[in-house]
Chain A
Amino acid sequence: MPATTIPFPLFRFKEAAAAREMPRDREEDRRRSRFEAVVLPHLDAAYNLARWLTRHDEEAEDVVQTACLRALRFFDGFQGGNARSWLLTIVRNTFYSWVAQHRERELDAPFDEEIHTVESAGGGPEAELLRRADAELLRQGFAALPVPFREVMVLREIEGLPYKEIAAIAGIPIGTVMSRLARARGHLQGYLIAHGAAGGRS
């Protein structure tokens, strides 16, 4: 798919209006328009990722806002590849620098990359129980995952991204994406079984 997008009528109109107002900033307006056309379609994905990482509405907005300003600064270096990956990478990096300032402890939470899944209770009922997990329980389960697992699960299961793109965004090898997903699913499965059963859901 061609990476260049040529904005349609309104932009021309807006540019014309802007040019009348302050002609010397016309170039900057053009750049802004291009930037907006690239970033705007992925703003919801950016917010979703930030919201899952911070687990907080206002903090998510802060992170996305900061990420957008950074993106605007780096925009000249954007070569017109995958805009979604590009923006989500910046959102993720912004989150990590934000969390280092505000919630350092969060990243110290121990997690190991080794795989050891939950011991199954055996039989089909487990699959049945998991299939009936509702949105509320799933939200809690996702939120309970350590950040490195949560981010790959959100990118995979909510954004539906392929491993290659997740690897690029999280800056990890594809093999690590796979093992983190395996581990995250083990965690989540354990959480859903424990809390679903305790919550009286059957």
Chain B
Amino acid sequence: MSCTGDGGQRELQITAYLDGELDLAGVLDLERHLEKCPRCAELLAAQRAMQQAIGAADLRFRPTLPQARRLRRTLGAPPAAAWWRQPQLRSIAALLLVAVGAIAGWSAGRRWPAPGASRISAHPETLAHPETLANPETPAIAEQVLASHLRAQLSGHPEDVASTDRHTVKPWFAGHLDYSLPVIDLAAQGFPLRGGRLDYVGGRPVAALVYQAGNHLVSVLVWPAGRDAAPGSAAVASGAAAATSSRGFGLRRWTQAGMTWWAVSDADSLDDLVRRLRAQLPQR
């Protein structure tokens, strides 16, 4: 039980605090109060514990296969009878296709597969590409970036190296890639670094950094600029990040510090993260 006689105001404050919805003045006020009020501190501890338990449990209900099929029919979509219409299987198929594309690309002795060779045909209907991403190669890359993010989320462990310490993450990449990249922790800006993983995009291994944004994950994929077979990328080199969205996921691409950057997430705060990340990176 929290403070008596305040009409529940402290409890409301604690609620908003837990949800990250309290403004700075409110946070400071509450934190000062918590130091001298064991009852409120206890309430916060209990509710935070409960929130953690909810976060750890999977409470989401998903339609069964036949249900999903019927619902899609309502939408006017063709029935989801075929296996490639199941999102999970699609992502696995995407992974296989990317892997096959990568192997084919390497074994053919080419640095890059022919345009479209590694295009994820299992995601045919999903990609959006506004004018800013008009380069014909870019949608294929965008599909792979999104597939990388979805795959990582589905696997349940979105990072190969889980560490909030960039001094652990950076050397780990150094041991797995033929290029090095700037690794920035954004914990102070509200986006703690969770770790990194390796992925295949455009038929080559690339670095993916994983950030936490509230309840959502953000994948940031990084590789040397000019190696993504997208000559048009120079157009966005110094301008605003190119933006697109697909299936409720936002994608942002820009070039900075000699690298091509892709950020993908369903978090509303994606643009904020990109802005803060860009501010921390070398400008050239």
Contact residues in B for A157 (Cβ distance below 8 Å): 51, 54-55, 59
Tell me if B70 and A65 are in contact (CB < 8 A). Answer: yes
Total A-B pairs in contact (CB under 8 Å)? 177
Report whether over half of chain A's contact residues are helix, strand or loop; otherwise say mixed: helix
Contact residues in B for A156 (Cβ distance below 8 Å): 19
Bound Cα distance A51, B72 (Å): 17
Check B35 for interface membership: any CB of A closer than 8 A.
no
Q: Which of B91-132 contact A (CB under 8 A)?
A: 123-130
Bound Cα distance A128, B48 (Å): 11
- The size of the chain B interface, using a CB distance under 8 A, is 63
Bound Cα distance A13, B164 (Å): 45
Check A170 for interface membership: any CB of B closer than 8 A.
no
Q: Which of A93-145 contact B (CB under 8 A)?
A: 114-120, 122, 124, 126-128, 130-135, 138-139, 142
Tell me if A43 and B125 are in contact (CB < 8 A). Answer: no
B-facing mask of A178-202, CB < 8 A → 1, else 0? 1101100110110010000000000
Check A23 for interface membership: any CB of B closer than 8 A.
no
Find A43's partner among B54, B71, B268, B270 (CB 8 Å cutoff). B71
Find B63's partner among A43, A133, A160, A189 (CB 8 Å cutoff). A43
Contact residues in B for A138 (Cβ distance below 8 Å): 53-54, 57, 59
Tell me if B63 and A47 are in contact (CB < 8 A). Answer: yes
Contact residues in B for A32 (Cβ distance below 8 Å): 75-76
Check B155 for interface membership: any CB of A closer than 8 A.
no
Find A83's partner among B16, B243, B248 (CB 8 Å cutoff). B248
Tell me if A119 and B62 are in contact (CB < 8 A). Answer: no
Tell me if B58 and A135 are in contact (CB < 8 A). Answer: yes
Tell me if A131 and B53 are in contact (CB < 8 A). Answer: yes
Check B234 for interface membership: any CB of A closer than 8 A.
no
Check B189 for interface membership: any CB of A closer than 8 A.
no
Find A192's partner among B2, B50, B215 (CB 8 Å cutoff). B50
Tell me if B12 and A47 are in contact (CB < 8 A). Answer: no
Bound Cα distance A126, B1 (Å): 12
Contact residues in B for A130 (Cβ distance below 8 Å): 46, 49-50, 53
Tell me if A185 and B50 are in contact (CB < 8 A). Answer: yes
> A35 with B12: in contact, given A160-B214, A162-B21 (CB under 8 Å)?
no
> A9 with B125: in contact, given A41-B247, A139-B59 (CB under 8 Å)?
yes
Residue of A nearest to B244 (CB): A2
Min CB distance A75 to B, Å, is 11
Check A48 for interface membership: any CB of B closer than 8 A.
yes
Check B47 for interface membership: any CB of A closer than 8 A.
yes
> A181 with B50: in contact, given A5-B128, A117-B1 (CB under 8 Å)?
no
Find B53's partner among A117, A133, A163 (CB 8 Å cutoff). A133
Contact residues in B for A114 (Cβ distance below 8 Å): 8
> A185 with B49: in contact, given A40-B75, A52-B61, A163-B21 (CB under 8 Å)?
no
Check A26 for interface membership: any CB of B closer than 8 A.
no
A/B interface sample: 11 pairs, CB < 8 A = A40-B72, A40-B75, A51-B61, A65-B70, A84-B248, A116-B8, A117-B1, A130-B49, A138-B53, A157-B51, A182-B11
Q: Given A48-B62, A61-B71, A188-B50, 6 other A-B contacts at CB below 8 A?
A: A8-B139, A32-B76, A41-B247, A61-B70, A130-B49, A185-B50
**Interfacial residues, chain A to chain B (CB-CB below 8 A):** 1-2, 4-11, 32, 35-37, 39-44, 47-48, 51-52, 57, 60-61, 64-65, 68-69, 72, 83-84, 114-120, 122, 124, 126-128, 130-135, 138-139, 142, 156-158, 160, 162-163, 178-179, 181-182, 185-186, 188-189, 192
What 9 pairs across the A-B complex have the smallest Cβ distances? A160-B215, A115-B8, A135-B57, A10-B125, A51-B61, A10-B124, A131-B49, A41-B248, A5-B128
